[in-house]
């Protein structure tokens, strides 16, 4: 047992994904501070009913609270920019936790999770990222953040499993009725919302949700199941975001998903035809959106193998992918395209022209 703990404590690896997670947390910290500033304009919570955990004497007054909110905005900018990011993450988390201790009514699960993730990441080398060369560092803090996400899934799925109203779908049914107009406003067709508001559908969906949360807590730690688990989790949280109001929890969870990505900086190559406008646009988009640093983007002069293709992807094992195969590989590795990975991979599996057997 002690050997396992020592290996966990001393684990060292690539830190590029930590940088991507840091930027995501910085954006979410700014959004949280912006919300607090907007609420402050309507009135300071201390001037109304509040329920402090701390002694009343330690609760900030309006001026101090306004200073803390402005400080959180400034700190979030440091986090995103990567300037003294670890200290900024730590201070942002401590300020947020202090505010929740000043008033229990400020507590929300998603806010607490944001501050705890920020605190954990502040102990990681998350500022050693987005450089040309591979940066390495200790990963124990990142592993704790991963464990926190799994713990949230177990706690959420377990509480639903032992709740008869949740298992039966009654809770989801009421939620669909309550938030159905929001889904329609978000672009979901009214017929689908009406169909989803049926008790039988809510009952089936409740069981799928429970199985999903408990399954993700395990699948994210499995090399074989991780990619499918992440893809299913992305759509699971996007569906929650569309159908309910969860105040940024979706984007927070998807940000932490970056920590589960395989550390393989520039392990793949994307070659593009510099003489084709569409090919150049694809290459530029990949360079902008490849936040996890999966691809090395290069131009090439078309030869007999690459002739007729705008882009060619060389996988980690050296095999070449074109057409749908290349599109599926790009979707698997680029975060904003990842929701489309599974259908593209399925379509590519029925084609033989999408792969080339030659190696780099």
For residues 80 and 318, the model is more confident at 80
Neighbours of 337 (CB within 10 A): 17
Domain end among 221, 239, 260: 260
Same domain membership, residue 132 and residue 22? yes
Quick check: 307 pLDDT over 60? no
Same domain membership, residue 196 and residue 80? no
Per-residue pLDDT, averaged over 328-350, amounts to 93
pLDDT of 83-99, one tens digit each?
A: 999 999 999 999 999 99
Per-residue pLDDT, averaged over 286-301, amounts to 88
Q: Sign of the CA dihedral 21, 26, 28, 32?
A: positive
- State how many domains the chain has: 3
What SS3 state is found at 241?
helix
Same domain membership, residue 345 and residue 230? no
Prediction pTM value: 0.87
pLDDT of 225-248, one tens digit each?
A: 999 999 999 999 998 887 777 788
Pick from 114, 101, 143, 105: which is nearest to 17 by CA? 143
Q: How does the average pLDDT of the chain come out, rounded?
A: 87
> Is there a domain that residue 150 lies in?
no
Distant-in-sequence contacts of 342-351, Cβ < 8 A, 24+ apart: 342/228, 342/231, 348/323, 348/324, 351/323, 351/324, 351/325
Q: Give the residue numbers spanning the domain of 109.
A: 14-138
pLDDT of 118-146, one tens digit each?
A: 999 999 998 866 544 457 788 899 999 99
Say what the pLDDT of residue 198 is. 80
Same domain membership, residue 235 and residue 214? yes
Say what the pLDDT of residue 354 is. 53
> Is there a domain that residue 345 lies in?
yes
Say what the pLDDT of residue 259 is. 94
> Is there a domain that residue 57 lies in?
yes
- Measured between alpha carbons, how far is residue 314 from residues 227, 304, 321 in Å? 19, 16, 6
Same domain membership, residue 272 and residue 256? no
> Is there a domain that residue 26 lies in?
yes
Per-residue pLDDT, averaged over 52-76, amounts to 92
């Amino acid at each position: 047992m002690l050997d396992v703990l020592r290996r966990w404590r001393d684990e060292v690896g690539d830190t590029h994904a930590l940088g991507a997670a840091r930027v995501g947390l910085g954006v979410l910290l700014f959004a949280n501070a912006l919300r607090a500033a907007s609420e402050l304009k309507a009135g300071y919570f201390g001037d109304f009913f509040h329920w402090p955990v701390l002694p009343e004497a330690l609760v900030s007054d309006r001026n101090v609270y306004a200073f803390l909110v402005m400080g959180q905005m400034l700190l979030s900018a440091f986090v995103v920019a990567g300037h003294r990011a670890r200290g900024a993450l730590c201070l942002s988390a401590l300020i947020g936790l202090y505010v929740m201790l000043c008033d229990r009514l400020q507590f929300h699960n998603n806010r607490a999770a944001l501050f705890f993730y920020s605190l954990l990441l502040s102990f990681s080398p998350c500022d050693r990222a987005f450089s040309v060369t591979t940066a390495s560092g200790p990963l124990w803090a990142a592993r704790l953040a991963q464990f926190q996400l799994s713990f949230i899934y177990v706690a959420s799925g377990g509480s639903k499993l032992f709740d008869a109203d949740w298992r039966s779908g009654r809770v989801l049914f009421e939620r669909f009725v309550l938030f159905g107009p929001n889904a329609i406003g978000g672009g979901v067709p009214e017929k689908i919302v009406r169909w989803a508001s049926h008790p039988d559908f809510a009952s089936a969906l409740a069981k799928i949700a429970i199985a999903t949360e408990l399954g993700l807590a395990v699948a994210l730690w499995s090399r074989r199941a991780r990619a499918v688990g992440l893809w299913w989790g992305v759509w699971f949280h996007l569906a929650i975001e569309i159908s309910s109001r969860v105040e940024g929890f979706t984007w927070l969870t998807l940000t932490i998903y970056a920590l589960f990505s395989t550390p393989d900086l520039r392990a793949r190559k994307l070659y593009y035809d510099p003489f084709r406008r569409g090919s150049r646009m694809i290459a530029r988009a990949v360079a902008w959106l490849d936040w996890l640093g999966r691809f090395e983007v290069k131009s090439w002069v078309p030869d007999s193998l690459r002739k007729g293709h705008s882009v060619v992807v060389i996988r980690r094992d050296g095999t070449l992918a074109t057409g749908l195969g290349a599109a599926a590989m790009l979707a698997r590795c680029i975060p904003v395209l990842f929701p489309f990975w599974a259908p593209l991979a399925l379509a590519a599996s029925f084609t033989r022209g999408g792969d080339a057997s030659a190696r780099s």
